[in-house]
Amino acid sequence: MQLFSTVLWSVILLTAPTLSADEIELPEIGDHSGVAISPEQERSIGQAFMRRLRNSVTIIEDPEITTYIQSLGFRLVANSDNPGQGFTFFVVQDPTINAFAAPGGYIGIHSGLVENSQTESELAAVLAHEIAHVTQRHLARAFEQRSRLSLPMTAALVAALILGIENPNAGLAGLAAVQAGAAQLQINFTRSNEKEADRVGMQTLVRSGFDPFAMPAFFERLQQASRYYGTRPPEFLSTHPVTTNRIADAMGRAQTLSPQPVKEYPQFHLARAKLQVLTSDNYAQTAHQFSQALETGRYVNEAATRYGYALALVENGEPRKARQQILKLLEKNGDNRTYRLALAQVEVAAGRFKTAFEIYESAQKLYPDDYAVVVNYASALLQGHRPQTARDLLRRQVQLGAATGRLYHLLAQAEGDAGSQAESHRWLAEYYYYNGQTERAIKQLQLANKTANDNFYQRSKIEARLRQLQREIDAGENT
């Protein structure tokens, strides 16, 4: 009896439909003397898996969405059974209601899950369950370390399994290709892991100040909605059926927990509205939907609805009307970072770069080194032909430990526009590597080496990175 999302063994359940839930097996890897993988090995597998995932699906790298989902995730992690465990939370652009946990604490949330969650507690309930799978080391225990399975091959196997959810034929083909060159893997699905994640996740949810009744409420709403989907229910329901027993179990757990004051933040509704715009394929229609909601009063959160309306207007080429909506929001909450960034976006769209830069500089004073502020500001600076300033801001983010494809790509553009071609190629190489395109990254490093001229320090860094990536390529070919 499964709960949320595509945790790894749930994916395996789909790729082996002829086996029972307690006997899901893939061929074994190596001998039977292996021990559970270490946290370091699990993290390495997760990192390699993420590079493959980024090369296969669209991950939303909007800085505000990224910042929000990370802050929500870390709020839960801080109240989990292992607050020191490393996690990475991200949003996949996909309209289905789903989420998944991968080795190393990587937790992906489909955009459809965020958009269909009516409260922050509902979204948090899903994340808490996935976090529990990681902190209880269910994923690590599912894999045994085998001497003949390489890191690239393990990551490829995990990717093939999880991507099989989106495209079963592609997933099975990828799995067959991996098995052809790899030793074998055995994973036993256990219902006890799901129950434990359910119980532990509920505890984490309550400790973090969320509503425990959000979990059964979300279940019940999905169950009721399922009757309208006919033969093609949401992926959440088709892979993890929500039963009356599961709803009753979740309700029973919620009732036994000591009630805590529930504190939900408005950022959830703002992120949800922004996702609606980011995933829209018709901005005029999306703007109309937000406008109608405001006129009729049919909304959950007025400010978020107005914010979404403004963003849709910007994307639809109507910055003047968008500015009017943002100014209304700022009248009530002038220090709100999200509204300030939206206003700056409006000014950039209108070609008023000087005004936009003033807004960003003011936001930087209020929120120094804030990732969302810096990335949006740097993007505007590049559009406004000020690459040196953008480069300095982005380099600072790298020094602080930020590592995203969006950051690397902007930095490559800033270095190129500032006249540093070698550095531009070097950062573009990091962008490609981050997105699982190692061979393209190597080509960029080779170009960087050619354009570095006599800069010994620069060439040393480039050549060292080249050797590192080439070793990864060779390791993958020899497994």
Beta-ladder partners of 106: 88, 102
Residue 415, annotated as binding a ligand: no
Sign of CA dihedral 388, 393, 399, 404: negative
Q: How many residues does the chain have?
A: 479
From 62, 94, 144, 198, the catalytic residue: 198
Tokens of 143: 């894999």
In the residue annotation, 302 being an active-site residue is answered as no
Residue with tokens 């399994």: 161
Residue 385, annotated as binding a ligand: no
**Separation CA 78–CA 121 (nearest Å):** 16
Each as own residue / partner, the long-range contacts of residues 312-315 (CB below 8 Å, 24 or more positions apart, any chain) are 312/277, 312/280, 312/283, 312/286, 312/287, 313/287, 314/342, 314/345, 314/346, 314/349, 315/277, 315/280, 315/283
Residue 129, annotated as binding a ligand: yes
From 64, 130, 347, 423, the catalytic residue: 130
HSE-up (13 A, CA, CB side) for residue 369: 8
448 residue type, one letter: A
Enumerate residues 6+ apart whose C-beta is below 8 A from 126: 4, 5, 99, 109, 113, 117, 218
In the residue annotation, 198 being an active-site residue is answered as yes
Phi and psi at 90, nearest 5°, equal: -150, 160
Enumerate residues 6+ apart whose C-beta is below 8 A from 4: 99, 126, 129, 130, 236, 240
Residue with tokens 């740097």: 378
Residue list, annotated binding site: 129, 133, 194
Residue list, annotated binding site for Zn(2+): 129, 133, 194
Catalytic residue set? 130, 198
